[in-house]
Structure 1
Amino acid sequence: MRVHIGSDHAGLELKDHLTTALTDAGHEVVDHGPFTYDALDDYPVFCLRAAEAVAAERAEGGDALGVVVGGSGNGEQMAANKVAGIRCALVWSEETAVLAREHNDANVVSVGGRMHSLDDMTRFVEVFLATAFSGDERHVRRIGQLADYETTRELPPLPASALQGAASASAGDD
């Protein structure tokens, strides 16, 4: 599988480690940088490129996934999620890595290079890459709602139960 990877200075060491580990595991890794340590670099420069590459390949029918890395992983996740078609999940355990793929069909994973041990973060990424989307109807429906909103900017309709609750609440305001 092709894996696009990007980071910032705080994630550079982990990115370099993951690049080697993933290549050794048989993945084709495309490194979007940075390539040298610069304490003043900006994560969007590298993470947006990694996410754009994943989105482009998936739009063409490919199965590429992505990894973005920073100190906490928060900003990197936010950057990746700005790219149309990307669902990037910040993971902090094997369970969140599994759920990101099984339930959310996340196509990019974000990890914080300063949050866990190197072994743990490597395992989170490996688990993410090895886990498939479940395809359950409820998850497909929810992902569809997100994709529709991303395109149309129209909110999904409220379920009847939410409308009944709103009507009950406003009836009590008399």
Structure 2
Amino acid sequence: MRVHLGSDHAGLDLKEHLLAWLHGHGYEPIDHGPFIYDALDDYPVFCLRAAEAVAKDRAAGLDSLGVVIGGSGNGEQMAANKVAGIRCALVWSEDTARLAREHNDAQVISVGGRMHTLEEMTRFIELFLVEPFSGDERHVRRIGQLLSYEETRILPPLPESAVGRGPDA
């Protein structure tokens, strides 16, 4: 499996660690940068490329996932989620790492290099990479709603229990 990596300067050390860890565990890591420390770098440059590569690989039928890394992971997640068809989850625990795949079929995760130890982050990524999507109907339905909105910009219909309530009433 290919694993595309992108980060900013705050995630550079973890990215370097992951390149070796992934290779040692039988994955094919692809580094989208940065390649040197620059405190003024711009994470979208690298995270968009990593997410775009995952989308292209998957469209070509390849087994591919991605990891984007920053100080908090927030901006990197936002960048990856701008790529059409990509669902990137911010991961901060073992449960969120597993659920990103099991429930949301996320193809990319984002981690905060300043939020956790190297060992914790490596474990989150390991769990994400091995967890399969459950395929449960409710999760497939929800992902379908997201994909439909992404393509059409038409909101999904309200459930019967919400009709006549809230701002759409």
Question: Given the two structures, how large is their TM-score scaled by the length of structure 2?
Answer: 0.97
Unaligned stretches of 5+ in structure 1?
A: none
Q: C-alpha separation between the residues in 2 aligned to 1:62 and 1:153?
A: 28
Residue of structure 2 equivalent to 1:17: 17
Q: Give 1:126 shift.
A: 0.5
Residue of structure 1 equivalent to 2:26: 26
Q: C-alpha separation between the residues in 2 aligned to 1:109 and 1:126?
A: 11
Which sits farther off after the overlay, 55-64 or 121-130? 55-64
Q: C-alpha separation between the residues in 2 aligned to 1:115 and 1:70?
A: 10
In structure 2, what residue type is equivalent to 1:131?
A: E
Q: C-alpha separation between the residues in 2 aligned to 1:20 and 1:78?
A: 26
Residue of structure 2 equivalent to 1:132: 132
Q: C-alpha separation between the residues in 2 aligned to 1:35 and 1:20?
A: 14
Q: C-alpha separation between the residues in 2 aligned to 1:59 and 1:69?
A: 23
Unaligned stretches of 5+ in structure 2?
A: none
Q: C-alpha separation between the residues in 2 aligned to 1:162 and 1:101?
A: 29
Tell me, what secondary structure is at the counterpart of 1:68?
strand
Aligned-residue identity in percent: 75
Residue of structure 1 equivalent to 2:112: 112
Tell me, what secondary structure is at the counterpart of 1:37?
coil
Q: C-alpha separation between the residues in 2 aligned to 1:60 and 1:9?
A: 31
Deviations for 1:133-172, whole angstroms, at most 9, x for unmatched residues?
A: 00000000000000000000000000001015x29xx7xx
Moved over 4 A (4+): none
Structure with the largest fraction of helix: 1
Q: C-alpha separation between the residues in 1 aligned to 2:147 and 2:57?
A: 17
In structure 1, what residue type is equivalent to 2:46?
A: F
Q: C-alpha separation between the residues in 1 aligned to 2:47 and 2:133?
A: 23
Tell me, what secondary structure is at the counterpart of 1:86?
coil
Q: Give 1:33 shift.
A: 0.3
Q: Give 1:63 shift.
A: 1.8
Q: C-alpha separation between the residues in 1 aligned to 2:32 and 2:10?
A: 15
Q: Give 1:61 shift.
A: 1.4
* Superposed counterparts of 1:96-107, under 5 Å: 96-107=96-107
Deviations for 1:83-104, whole angstroms, at most 9, x for unmatched residues?
A: 0010000000110000010000
Q: Give 1:55 shift.
A: 0.3
Residue of structure 1 equivalent to 2:59: 59
Deviations for 1:58-92, whole angstroms, at most 9, x for unmatched residues?
A: 11111200000000000000000000010000000
**Larger Cα Rg: Structure 1 or Structure 2?**
1
Q: C-alpha separation between the residues in 2 aligned to 1:58 and 1:159?
A: 32
